[in-house]
Structure 1
């Protein structure tokens, strides 16, 4: 008996299981595609747009006068220069909407770097939300959350009132995590493939 088709099926099962068991990136934005940032009012890109209303957000960073944390390319000041007294101070919303499920969200967040009071950034996706309060001198730090949500758009909100000195955001990545039932189904499929191989070998040995 030719075992090659069965072996190939087993390899495909392994590959499919490995692929499904790892998270899939569904959103990524490092804000570098917009060019040098110099306290420019940001109109969005292909991933995020400022929520309207409220919202004033600035692009700052490399090549500009306001590169507070060099080496990070361009990044967003979530409380932009064209707003004053707004509440919330600024907000961005993902263009894409995401279904119900489990996700891992990572991003870099820093304080305002201008000596202002602590600022709070709220992050929301569907019925999941969290808030981060940072002092002015806090540098970029990696934030990571894994959560289950009803689904919707990913939103970063800078709580007001606006003083034009917001927390800084960079390197946003959202990944979809496969459900445990998906993993279980793939493991069962792999087990059945292995049983087929063992059964075929027994039949060949008996013959």
Structure 2
């Protein structure tokens, strides 16, 4: 694990078995089948062939292998390739993947400057035992820092993953609505208690 510039930055890695359900508080932002949430942009660059593949096609020998159980589209970053994901401020990111290779890396760029890179087994956080038939949803928590860009890179073929999800640093509109409703209900309850107390003393 490497870090530069962001004070006390430390990515914490955790995992759940299989792809879904998503961890609590996370929202699916890109499933490589056309869903890309507002405020997110993604760019594939570098080696020709780095991009989106169809899991229904199965193994592309030496090029791309779908994450375990994936029959829809997924990302494959070939050696020398990069996928750059630009995001609103986020506090967590998760992906679904199979066992990572030593040459796979993810770099997280912090809103306040600096970055942190996880490579190879650091990406797995002890989730895998080398069984290529098992997939895990890997969650990367930024320890209170906010990330605005993520780069997926590989120095060999390939780095395959699917279904990117994030936790936004700013509550989603639905969350704001629930919070406002909650505050309103709490205020109404307090007003009722005050009226009841006033009547009791009258």
Is the 8 Å Cα contact of residues 128 and 149 (structure 1) preserved in structure 2? no
- Evaluate the alpha carbon distance shift between residue 142 and residue 156 of structure 1 in structure 2; reply closer, same or farther with a 3 A threshold: same
TM-score normalised over the length of structure 2: 0.55
RMSD between superposed Cα atoms in Å: 4.1
Structure 2: segments with no counterpart, 5+ residues: 1-23, 60-64, 122-127
Structure 1: segments with no counterpart, 5+ residues: 1-21, 35-43, 80-85
Is the 8 Å Cα contact of residues 123 and 129 (structure 1) preserved in structure 2? yes
Name whichever structure is richer in helix by fraction.
1
- Evaluate the alpha carbon distance shift between residue 45 and residue 61 of structure 1 in structure 2; reply closer, same or farther with a 3 A threshold: farther
**CA separation in 1, counterparts of 2:187 and 2:170?**
21
Encode CA deviations 1:143-175: one digit per residue, 9 max, x unaligned: 0122133542232222x2xx4x21211111011
TM-score normalised over the length of structure 1: 0.54
Does the residue aligned with 2:193 lie in a helix, a strand or coil? helix
Which residues in structure 2 correspond to 1:1-207 (within 5 Å)?
23=25, 25=27, 28-33=29-34, 47-53=40-46, 56-66=49-59, 68-69=66-67, 71-72=69-70, 73-79=72-78, 89-94=80-85, 96-99=86-89, 103-111=91-99, 118-126=102-110, 127-133=114-120, 138=132, 139-147=134-142, 148-158=144-154, 160=155, 163=156, 165-177=157-169, 194-207=189-202
